[in-house]
Chains A and B, each alone.
Chain A
């Protein structure tokens, strides 16, 4: 099975975020970056499918030069080769624009399966996988918690809301978005890190793909959300505070 996995590089979870003066984006200097968490689960799932059914895993990432780091990480964990879709202004792209670029790069080869994480921890659009499926004319399923290969078809466990799940089947080739927690992500071994140095990372510039795209939306401004509420603090002994709180919930908020 030939599998492409889309991984995004995002600011590290504990990175202190500072918004640029223009409010266009965050200041990228002085912060660390890492692989988007849901994408690391998608990568792990791709590696497990390859180990079980054979084939190849190709890791693709879009972004500036620093993005190569997450491709190298994927190679160190066991991906066979990488594709770096080089774009210094990736953060300005709308979801459809990103998906068009990725789809154009993936179209150069014929993949049996394309995996993405369900959303990114930075922009959180949560649309890339679904858009790729539409642009490539493939069936898709999202928020996947289990994959079973049944010949030319997949049986998938989809997470729904409120504790519900659903089994769905679809034919390959297909696109899936993977939910965090589907598996236990591996660490790269020292051997894997050494082996990765010999693996190929193909660089494609977004311009070279020549994709016509008019943006569908524009992020005008990023800002720290204002505190929406005034908190009324209730004091006194536990007994007094409890009585006062219940009084307020009954007669002021009227929710009890």
Chain B
């Protein structure tokens, strides 16, 4: 099977879900004989990233470059990637399920008359086909979805569905093939303007290796510094569930969950978070999850590797003290 992974970068920096999607491609191809995986980099002046990508175990790297691809537009990316797909002829096109992919990938698939299975959390290779697993009803149910009709088939994977650090390196760098992109300014109807952040001390929690998250159990804004101190001692960042940000106790950019950020750190410590599905979808891909909650039936324990049933106002100081001692 010929698999094409379309990676994502912005201003020269990789989106972390890109490497997770490459891992998905490598795993799918390993189970199918005669498979080859190609990685694509799209933008302007991204040869350096293509060279970086070529160190991974890939048959080929496609370099999709054009002056008009410097900044993302759905028209520019759709037109350019359509040409890359025509050249590479993949059967399976894998993408990270980012906001940008949500913005153009269904259009790209439809432009080719094809469908896309979006926001998948896994796959299963059956005898003669691959079944993709995605969530429905906001995570209350899962669904097995398979493709009907002819390739190419488009799939996007949710952040945290695969472990980005499991990426296989190649014995030698993969060859880099430039794609000749034919793109005219008048084909791009959207005009991208400036990028900005609203929160003053904006933080990218998706890049933090350790997160200490607080929920309703923290009770009052004056208790937040307790968790903040613990986060600092652990070398991590402070995060929160939606109610804490809605109350204004922490800025919105600290929010984890379906309406906030999706993260997959190596350690996620949930303090006084009940584990509503809207929160869990944003953090369940974390490598190790610790939950501390006084309610032993809290759903957060369903995704936790380690659990402590207890009072966070006793356990936060105990953890802080033990870490300070060391």
Contact = CB atoms under 8 A, between A and B. Distances in A.
A234 B308 contact: yes
Contacts of A245: 290, 306, 308, 319
A63 interface: no
B253 interface: yes
B146 A160 contact: no
Contacts of A96: 109-110, 115
Interface in B160-216: 189-199, 202-206, 210
Instruction: Please classify the interface of chain A as helix (H, G, I), strand (E, B), loop, or mixed, using the class held by over half of its residues.
Output: mixed
Most chain A Cβ neighbours within 10 Å, of B118, B140, B303: B140
B308 A11 contact: no
A242 B326 CA distance: 13
Interface in B274-293: 287-291
Contacts of A166: 192-196
B106 interface: yes
Interface in B284-318: 287-291, 301-311, 314-315, 317-318
B119 interface: yes
A246 B140 CA distance: 32
Contacts of B147: 216-218
Interface string A192-223: 00000000000000000000001111111111
A161 B141 contact: no
Interface string A216-243: 1111111111011101111100110111
A81 B118 CA distance: 32
B143 interface: yes
Contacts of A123: 136
Contacts of A233: 306-309
A124 B318 contact: no
A17 B144 CA distance: 17
A167 interface: yes
Contact of B306 (A222, A234, A243): A234
A46 B133 CA distance: 35
Given A142-B103, A253-B267, A162 B190 contact: no
A32 interface: no
Interface stretch (A54-62, A66-74, A126-134): A126-134
A94 B190 contact: no
B220 interface: no
Contact of B322 (A17, A180, A243): A243
A234 B307 contact: yes
Contacts of B314: 238
A168 B135 contact: no
A90 interface: no
A64 interface: no
Contacts of B301: 231
Given A164-B196, A229-B303, A121 B308 contact: no
Contact of A225 (B107, B141, B195): B141
B106 A218 contact: no
B142 A256 contact: no
A169 B191 contact: yes
A224 B142 contact: yes
Nearest to A221: B144
Given A130-B103, A167-B193, A216-B149, 7 more contacts: A95-B116, A219-B143, A222-B141, A222-B143, A225-B142, A231-B301, A233-B308
Interface of A: 11, 17, 19, 26, 94-96, 99, 118, 121-127, 130-131, 133-135, 139-143, 155, 159-171, 180-181, 214-225, 227-229, 231-235, 238-239, 241-243, 245-246, 248-249, 253, 255-256
A-B pairs with the 4 shortest C-beta distances? A216-B115, A163-B253, A242-B318, A139-B189
